[in-house]
Copies of this chain bind each other. A is one copy, B any other.
Amino acid sequence: MPTFEDLLKSFRQTLENELSLWLEVKQARAIDVVPASEELTGVLSDYVFRGGKRLRPALLYYSYRSCGGTGDETVLPLAMAVELLHTYLLAHDDIMDRAELRRGKPAVHLVFRHLHRSREWAGDSDHFGQSAAILLGDLAQAYSIELFASTPADDKVWPELRTAFSSMVQEVIVGQYLEMTAGYREDLGEEELLRVLRMKSGRYSVEWPMHLGAILAGAAAQQRQALCDYGSLMGEAFQLQDDLLGMFGDPERVGKPVGADLAEGKFTVLIHHALRKATPAGRELLTTALGNPDLTPEEVAQAQEVLRETGAEKRVVQMIEERMGAAQAVLSALELEPEGKRFFEGLIEFLRGREA
C-alpha cells in the first residue's frame, strides 16, 4: 500500500509534467506574437516551479479518484487550474502583505524590482515591481480560467462545477479583504473571525479542492457532503496550524521570518484569544506589534511570551486536535476507493507531524 508521501509525490510528478508542457506551449505562443513577452511568461514559469507541495491539486485529484473518477485527462486540467489560481493569489497577496520571501526566494514584486534596477530602466523600481507582479498574477489567473474552462466535464456536472469554482475564487478574495481590515474592526468577534479563516484559507485550501474533485467525479450527494465535512475540518486545522507556525515556527521550514504574521498585521484566532486574556500591558504590547513592519527580535519574543502566558497558544493547539479528531471520525465512517482514503488519512498524520 503506498504511503501518503508516495501518493503525493506520484501526483506531484504527474501534475508538474503536464503543467510544464502546458506552460511551454503558452509561452511559445506568447513569444510568437510578441517576443518581449518572454520576460513576463518566463518569470511566471520559474515562479510556478519554485516548488510547493501541490497539496490543493492533490486533494482535488484524490477526491476525484476516491469517488470513483478515472482518467487523468479529465481531472488534470482542473487540478492545474487550481494550482495556477494559487500562483495568482500568492503573487497578489505578497504585494498586499509586503512579503519579501516566497518559498525561500524573492517575492514576485521583488523579482521585477530587481529586473528594473539591473537593466537601469528609468522611474520607480518599486512601483514597476508591484505593477509587473499584479500582471503576473493576472496572467496566472487567465491561464487558470483557460484550464478550468477546458475541463471535459459532463453537461450534468458543469453547472455545479462552475458555481463551485467561482465561489471558491470569490470567497478567497473577500476573505483576503477581511483579513486585511480585520485588525481595524473592533466589532469582529471570534465567530466572524473563524468565518474569515474558513473562507480565506481553510475552505479554499482543502474543502473547495475536494469539493471540486467530488463534483467532477459525479459523487453522490451524501459522499460529497462527508468529504466536504472532512475538508472543512482539515482546512480549519491547517489554518490554525499556519497561525502557530507564523508565530512560533522554524523560519527555515516555514520560509518566512519568525513573527512575520505579526509584522504583516494578521489578526489571527491566536492573536484574538491572546488579546482577550492578556493583561493591559500584554494587550498594549500585542496591538502595538501588530502590523509593525520594523519589529525587533526582542519584540517578537515578548509577543510570543504573551501568546503563551495567556494560554492562547494552548487553546489553538487544542482547537487543532479537536478538528483532526472529528475529521478522522468522518473519514472512518466513509466508504471510499482505498487509495483516496489512504491519502486523506495520511493528511491527518502529515498535519500532526507538522506540529512537532
Contact = CB atoms under 8 A, between A and B. Distances in A.
Contacts of A26: 170
A37 B150 contact: no
Contact of A173 (B39, B121, B142, B163): B142
A289 to B, nearest CB: 12
Nearest to A146: B166
Contacts of A30: 170, 174
Interface stretch (A11-19, A180-188, A231-239): A180-188
Interface stretch (A46-54, A125-133, A205-213, A340-348): A125-133
B149 A127 contact: no
A321 to B, nearest CB: 27
A159 B188 CA distance: 45
A188 B119 CA distance: 16
B291 A92 contact: no
Interface string A93-112: 00110100000000000000
Interface residues of A, number: 62
Contacts of A162: 146, 149-150
A135 B200 CA distance: 13
Contacts of A220: none
A192 interface: yes
Contacts of A150: 159, 162
A64 to B, nearest CB: 19
B34 A138 contact: no
B36 A185 contact: yes
A138, A196, A265 pick with most chain B CB within 10 angstroms? A138
A195 interface: yes
The 7 nearest A-B residue pairs measured at CB: A146-B166, A96-B131, A149-B162, A142-B169, A121-B184, A37-B174, A40-B177
